[in-house]
Amino acid sequence: MAPTPWWKNASIYQIYPASFQDSNGDGIGDLPGIISRLDYIQSLGVDAIWVCPMYDSPQYDMGYDISDYEAVYAPYGKVADVEALIAGCHARGLRILLDLVINHTSHEHAWFRASRSSRTDPKRDWYIWRPPRYDPATRQRQPPNNWRSFFGGSAWAWDEPTQEYYLHLFAPQQPDLNWENPATRQALYASAMEFWLQRGIDGFRVDTVNMYSKPQDFPDAPILDPSNPYQPAASLFCNGPRMPEFLTEINQVLRKYRPHGDAITVGELPATPDRSDVLRYVSAAANQLSMVFQFDIVDCNMGADLRFNTVPHTWTLSDLRARVAATQTLMDGSTDGWSTAFLENHDQARCVSRWGSPGKHWEKSAKMLAMLVASLSGTLFLYQGQEIGMTNAPNHWDVGEYKDVDSVNYYRYVQESTDNDPVAIQNAKQALDYLARDHARLPMQWSAAPQAGFTDAEAKPWMRVHDNFKEVNVKGQTDQEDSVLGFWKALLGVRKQFPGVFAAGVYRDVDPENEEVLVFEKLGRGEKLVVTLNFGTEVREVQELEGLLKGKSWRVLVGNYEGDGMEALRPYEGRIYLVDVETATVA
Ligand code: TEU
Ligand code: CA
């Protein structure tokens, strides 16, 4: 049997540079700040870090709008700082992934400046330009199709000097590259990938990995939202026909530097709910991506075509568990695929505020959710601050504290489209309080010192520090043994100790109808896990427990309460049992 590749049993810590650690008092996190925290990261017991975009950028979308792949955003540092970060990781036995954002560039990238300079520029075809349509009745100029941008409005922007539209699936400052042009692809690989592979990175988290191959007739999307002239179109521009070809090319670039395949790709896979579609990306035989981020779990309780079009806190446990099970089937032993386990990232609200209880039961629910994600198969991703149970920004904060382009555009859209209807505006604020991307972007809470130790006491951080930093911070939790932080370290430890059941076991949902307690098994060879998680404040008996624990012996590996391991689950109590079973349970 081939040895398990390093990344399958790995836990990977995600860093958002702007909000992690400021080293020079300008209120913006930076690379020297990250380097100064590498010992802390190592102490967690993770195997690698993923650093969100640190490239040069005008920051319309926090660095996902790159103006130069080979330069670093000046407030974060220089290329030499990234080199020092790579060396610092490797010296500690940590690997490092960078973010690969190649569906689009910034409108300030030299390629786009050239492309928009004239219709005959050699780089015109590096982006997606189309002539207008005209409304037959009014003769008004209109975008080439009805696609809606992820951040609202048309996905096409009019360029007055050259009298054409260009496509931007995200902000107008993020023009989409034309992947149909081979010269564009070669330039991208050289600049965005090879420049950094030469510096020794261990792989990429690949942004919007399924959007490069667009249908070249750019058809209108079906009208799902008649109140809006622009329609969600992800089903049309995701997972296009040439994706396999493009990903094969990307792999060839990786292999050039890492012939043994130990440099990895983690693709972000939005709008792809079908298992068979996911499998085409992550099947080992297909050789496309090492693994993907599926959206099933984090999309829970979001509006179907608009994230904020939702009623907060109306999810059910049966819905959540179905989403968990859906991602886990990728690793049910019947496929050669691999995936990831995560509850948070820089685009998501905090998990305690979504599925736990940030108030009285904060600590228990943070630990219970940690048990959930740490028990799932796939490569585990942990987002900065999740390990100390950071929560969403307080509801009483003014809407002006929301800085993200997605949040700002949505709020303005509601104001304008409802003529400032107070009820609609209140609902919009509640939706932001619940699901905005900003919640993940609040400064990391290092200590009870002013500004949570993120920046100097007198400095003004780019985002406001959470009110709860004196109760929730790294320093306090390091000193306290039974903290959320200590709990996470223990979990990462047992996950390493029993990789066969934790990272690669076969998931089985025991009671899919149960709306209070999530009970599942993870079957490995000769051993299994039984996981029981109480998602509510009532004391709950787990009827099936005795049957599930049948075997040679069992013990509670991890739990967030004291006890002998058989009692009913108390509020937000969770337990992970390790059961030694007679025979191999995997067929
Ligand atoms: O996200 C792509 C994506 O499809 C979404 O999760 C997106 O954040 C959401 O739909 C907005 O409501 C990636 C990055 O993770 C994100 O931060 C970037 O904004 C986006 O790509 C554009 O590069
Ligand atoms: Ca700084």
Residues 312-354: tens digit of each pLDDT: 999 999 999 999 999 999 999 999 999 999 999 999 999 999 9
pLDDT tens-digit map of 450-468: 999 999 999 999 999 999 9
Please state the rounded mean pLDDT for residues 358-385: 98
Question: Which amino acid is residue 110, in one-letter code?
Answer: A
Q: How many domains does the chain fold into?
A: 3
Ligand 1 atom closest to Cα of residue 405? 19
pLDDT at residue 587 tops 50? no
pLDDT digits (tens, 9 = 90+) for 48-93: 999 999 999 999 999 999 999 999 999 999 999 999 999 999 999 9
Ligand nearest to the CA of 459: 2
- 17-41 confidence digits (pLDDT tens): 999 999 999 999 999 999 999 999 9
Q: How far is the CA of 151 from the centre of ligand 1 (A)?
A: 9
Q: Are residues 565 and 460 in the same domain?
A: no
The closest ligand to the CA of 65 turns out to be 1
Cβ atoms of 376 and 581 closer than 8 Å: no
Q: Is residue 47 lining ligand 1, measured as CB closer than 6 Å? A: no
Same structural domain for residues 115 and 247?
no
Distance separating alpha carbons of residues 6 and 400, to the nearest angstrom:
44
User: Is residue 382's pLDDT more than 80?
Assistant: yes
249/326 same-domain check: yes
In which band, very low, low, confident or very high, does the pLDDT at 1 lie, cut at 50, 70 and 90? low
Residues 281, 255 share a domain: yes
- The neighbour count for residue 320, using CB atoms within 10 Å, is 19
Q: Quick: pLDDT tens for 406-416.
A: 999 999 999 99
The 3-state DSSP class for residue 70 equals strand
Question: Catalytic amino acids?
Answer: 207, 268
Q: Are residues 212 and 287 in the same domain?
A: yes
Residues 515 and 461 in one domain: no
Q: How many CB atoms lie within 10 A of CB 352?
A: 28
* Domain end call among 487, 521, 556: 487
Q: What pLDDT, in 10s, does the model give residues 532-579?
A: 999 999 999 999 999 999 888 999 999 999 999 999 999 999 999 999
Going from the Cα of 60 to the center of ligand 2, the distance in angstroms, rounded, reads: 18
**421-441 average pLDDT score:** 98
Structural domain includes residue 495:
no
What is the average pLDDT value for the chain, to the nearest integer?
A: 97
CB distance 487 to ligand 1 below 6 Å: no
How confident is the model over 9-18, as pLDDT tens digits? 999 999 999 9
Whether the predicted pLDDT of 311 surpasses 70 = yes
Q: How far is CA 260 from CA 253, 254, 263, 264, in A?
A: 13, 10, 8, 11
From the CB of 76, is ligand 1 less than 6 Å away? no
Q: Are residues 405 and 431 in the same domain?
A: yes
Output the pLDDT for position 584: 46
Q: Which atom of ligand 1 is nearest to the CA of 270?
A: 4
Query: With a threshold of 0.85, does the pTM exceed it?
Result: yes
pLDDT in tens, 263-278: 999 999 999 999 999 9
For 509, phi and psi rounded to 5 degrees? -75, 125
pLDDT band at 3 (very low <50, low <70, confident <90, very high): confident
Q: What is the 3-state secondary structure (H, E, C) of 457-510?
A: CCCCCCCCCCHHHHCCCHHHHHHCCCCHHHHHHHHHHHHHHCHHHHCCCEEEEC
Does the C-beta of 211 come closer than 6 Å to ligand 1?
Answer: no
> Residue 2: its pLDDT value, please?
73
> Which residue range forms the structural domain that includes residue 149?
110-167
CATH number where 376 lies? 3.20.20.80
pLDDT at 583: 58
Q: What ligand has the least distance to the C-alpha of 309?
A: 1
The residues, ordered by sequence, that sit 6+ positions from 63 with a Cβ below 8 Å of its Cβ are: 17, 18, 52, 53, 54, 55, 57, 73
